[in-house]
Amino acid sequence: MPKPKSPKAAEFGPEVRAVFADIKRTRNVAEVNNFWKYLARDPVLLARTWQGVKEVMAPGALDPLIKEMLYLAVSVTNGCGYCIASHTAAARKAGMTEAMFGELMAVVGMANETNRLANGYRVPIDAMFEA
């Protein structure tokens, strides 16, 4: 019953190596981070998850910095330690300054507070928001 382990590089099959190569090329990094190494235990999940993340985080109507900040806001709300560490780093790499981080955290904190005030006061949705 061992703890889940990242497989050793030597154990990776060709599908995993292909995904890792695409991650490195897309992100221009020398090494993939632990998240992908651990998912490599399940090459199908690894490939689908990477494909999804790659599509979702590509520039579009929102630029990558905004997308990374949204990712971080969700991760902070859920309290996922790994995700907070990795997406804080990714957001900084994409251009998040200290001031932006401070404002992001202030919004996330306030939203988590007012979400509960709305719950507890049982506020009905205004007709104008339902139209």
Per CB under 8 A, contacts with its own copies among 39-58 are 39, 41-42, 44-45, 48-49, 52-53, 55-57
3-state secondary structure of 3: coil
| Interface mask toward its own copies for 66-105; x: CB under 8 A | xx-xxxxxxxxxxxxxxxxxxxxx--xx---xxxx-xxxx
Of 100, 98, 71, 97, residue with least CA distance to 86: 71
Angstrom distance (rounded) from CA 18 to CA 34: 16
Angstrom distance (rounded) from CA 111 to CA 36: 31
Least distance in angstroms from the C-beta of 23 to its own copies: 14
Q: Report the interhelical angle of 81-93 vs 64-78 (nearest 10°).
A: 160
Q: Which is nearer to its own copies, 24 or 83 (CB)?
A: 83
Q: Which is nearer to its own copies, 21 or 58 (CB)?
A: 58
Least distance in angstroms from the C-beta of 24 to its own copies: 14
Angstrom distance (rounded) from CA 39 to CA 129: 41
Q: Which is nearer to its own copies, 21 or 60 (CB)?
A: 60
Q: Is 30 in the site for its own copies (CB under 8 A)?
A: no
